[in-house]
Structure 1
Amino acid sequence: MPQYKKSHIYRAVEFAPIWVVLAIGRILPFWLRGKMFGLLGKLIVMYLPKARKRVHRGLITVFPGLSKKEINSITKKVGCNTALTLSELLMNDDYKKRKKLISADGEGFETLKEAKSNGQGAIIVSAHFGQWEAIRHHLAENNMETGAVYRKNNNPFYERLFLKSIKYGGLPIIARGGKGNISMIRHLKKGGFFALLVDQDSHSGKPIKFLGQEARTTTAPAEMALRYDLPLVPVFAVRQENGQNIKLEYEEAIIHTDAITMTNEINDRISARIQKNPDQWYWLHNRWNKK
C-alpha cells in the first residue's frame, strides 16, 4: 500500500474519536454536553502520562509551594476547562448562539469602540486562557468583527473541522507564516481588528519573563502596534464557577513605548491572570522550551 494511503488512513483513524465525541455532544443539551466534556478532560489529563507530567512540571515551576493534593486539584480543573473550551470551539456554530452567557467590562472595550468609529485598526492580545474564543464572538456582536491567526494542523480531517469552526467567530482567518502575516498587516491597515494569542513558545522570540521564568516571546504585536499606530488591548475571558458563563475583561491598552517594554507588559498582564486563576490556563503548552 502506498505510503500516502497509509498516512491518510492513519489520520482518519486518529480523528475518529474526536468525531465521535463531537457527534454525541451535538445531540446533548448544552449543560450536559459541558459535563461530558469536562469529565473527559479530567480523565485525559490525569491518566495520560505525558499530559499530566507537563501540567505538573509547569505548576511546580511557577508555584513551588503547592502540595501534591493542590497540584492534582488544579490539574483536573485544567483538563476540564481545556476540554470545555475546545468542544465549544469545535462546535462554534452552536456556541455563537450562546451570546447571553457572555458579559463584559473594562476600559479597553471603549478604546476598541473608538478605534472602530475612527476607521482605525486594532490588535487584541490574549492567551489560551478561559474561553478565549468568546472574545471574538463578543466583538462581532458589537460590530467589531475580529480576525484570528491559527496554526495549521497535520491531520487534514481535524484541519478542515477546525478551520470551518473558527470562521464562525469572525473573519479573516489566516494561517501563521509569511503570507499570512502580510494579509494580517493589510487588514489592520484598512481598519480591521485581529486577535492574537501570544502565550506560546516562539522560536524567533525574545527572552522575556513569563510567570517569573524567561520564555521566548513574540514581539510582533507590539512592533505592529508601534509601526502602524494601533491600539494594543489585552482581553481575558474568565470562565465562571458554573462552567458556562464567561466574563470578558477588557484591560487598559498597552502604552506605546518600545517593543520589548510593551511585550514585557503583555506578559505581566497574562501572568497576573494565570496567577489568579491557574486552572484556566492551558498548561499543556511547552511554554519554557529550552531547545
Structure 2
Amino acid sequence: MKVNNASKSPSTDITNSKRSLIKQKTISLGIRLLVSTLLKLTRNRRKKLVQNIGKTILRFANKTRKRAINNIINAMPELSIKEATDLAFDAYGNCAYGVAESFWLSQVEPDIFCDEETLQILQSGTGACIATMHIGCYEAVPLAVAKFAKQSVTLTNIPDFLADTMDFYSEVNITAINKKSENAFSELVTRAGNNAYISLHCDLYANQTEVTFFGQKTKAPSGVVLLAKLTKKPLLLAYAVYQDDGQVQVFFETLTSDKLAEQNTEQKAEQETTQESEQTVEQVMAQIYQRFEQIIRQYPSQWYWSYNRWKNYSS
C-alpha cells in the first residue's frame, strides 16, 4: 500500500524562501532605482510627475475612486458630483506625493509652527504622545519632532519587500515600529516611558472608540489617547500640509483638558457636574476628531479620502 505524503519537503520550503527573498530584493532594488531617478528631477517636476501617476492610478482603481467620491459627497453634500470627483483626483495625486516624500525625508525641511506651551513640551525631552493624520506629507510630523527631540517614534505599515529600505527613517533620526508586530503597542509604551515622542496616525477607521465625523457616527483608533493616559505624557495634535510653492508646514497643538473643554461648552458643563475632572478617552477622541474635521475642511485636497472610514458597525 502506497502512502502519499502531501507535506512539503524541507528543500521545497528553502527554495520557496529563496524565491521570495529574491523577489523582495528585486522589487526593493527597482524602487531604489525609481527613487534615485526621481531625485534627479527638480522638486516641481518630481511633484507633478508623482501627482499625475497618482491620478492615473485612481482612474483605473474603480473601487477606490468610488469610495473616495462617495466619502466626499457624504462629508460635504454641498459639492456637486463634478466638484467631488475633481477633489477626489486632486487629493489622490497630492497624497501620492505625500507618501512618496517618505523616500527622501532627508531632503524635506519643514517649517514648524506651535505656541510657546507646545514648544516647551517639544524641547523638554520628557516625551509626548502626538495624534496626527493622513494629510500633506505623511511623515513630516515625526520628521519635525526629530528636529527637537532625540527620540521620535512612529508606527509604519511598510510591506515586507520594502523592509530593507526603512533606513529612510533612521537617516533622519526617526524610529519606525512595524504596526503589524504583535508587540507594537507594548514597545510604544516602553518607549513613551523612556521619554520618546510618539506620533500616531489616528484618522483611520478602527473598531475602538465611537466618534462623530462630518456629522456621521463611526469608530476610531484611540491608542494615542490610551498611551498618553497610561504613561501620563502630554497629548499633542499635529498635521503637515503643503503650501502652493511645495513647502511643507507642520503645525503642533497642545491638547489639554481645559482647551478641549473650551471647544465644547456643553461638554464643559457636564464635566463640572462630575466629581472627576479628567476627560474620558471617548471625550478626548471626540475633540480630536472635531479638530481633524476643521483641518480637513481647510485643506480638503490634501487629505486621503479613500479609506473606508464610515463603514457600518454594530454599537
Structure 2: tracts of 5 or more residues without a match: 1-11, 258-277
- CA displacement at 1:6 relative to structure 2: 7.2
1: CA distance, partners of 2:25 / 2:194: 40
- CA displacement at 1:116 relative to structure 2: 4.2
2:162 aligns with 158
Distance 1:33 1:52, change over 3 A: same
Asked if 1 retains the 8 angstrom alpha-carbon contact of 2:117 and 2:254, the reply is no
Q: Map of 1:237-276 to 2, 5 A cutoff?
A: 237-242=240-245, 244-255=246-257, 256-276=278-298
2:49 aligns with 36
- CA displacement at 1:15 relative to structure 2: 6.9
Query: Residue by residue, what CA displacement relative to the aligned partner does 1:182-216 show, whole Å, maximum 9, x if unpaired?
Result: 1111111121111010011214x122112222222
- CA displacement at 1:32 relative to structure 2: 1.6
Distance 1:7 1:137, change over 3 A: closer
Distance 1:15 1:286, change over 3 A: farther
1: CA distance, partners of 2:282 / 2:193: 22
The partner residue of 2:227 within 224, 229, 242 is 224
2:191 aligns with 187
Distance 1:237 1:65, change over 3 A: same
Identity of aligned residues (%): 22
CA RMSD of the aligned region, Å?
Answer: 2.6
The answer to whether 1:114 aligns with 2:118 is no
Q: Map of 1:86-97 to 2, 5 A cutoff?
A: 86-92=99-105, 96-97=106-107
SS in structure 2 at match of 1:251 = strand
Query: Residue by residue, what CA displacement relative to the aligned partner does 1:248-285 show, whole Å, maximum 9, x if unpaired?
Result: 22123242522111111111111111122111111121
Distance 1:173 1:253, change over 3 A: same
SS in structure 1 at match of 2:112 = strand
- CA displacement at 1:51 relative to structure 2: 2.4
TM-score computed with the length of structure 2 as normaliser: 0.78
- CA displacement at 1:59 relative to structure 2: 0.7
- CA displacement at 1:4 relative to structure 2: 5.9
1:82 aligns with 95
1: CA distance, partners of 2:156 / 2:214: 24
The partner residue of 1:141 within 133, 137, 147 is 147
- CA displacement at 1:13 relative to structure 2: 8.1
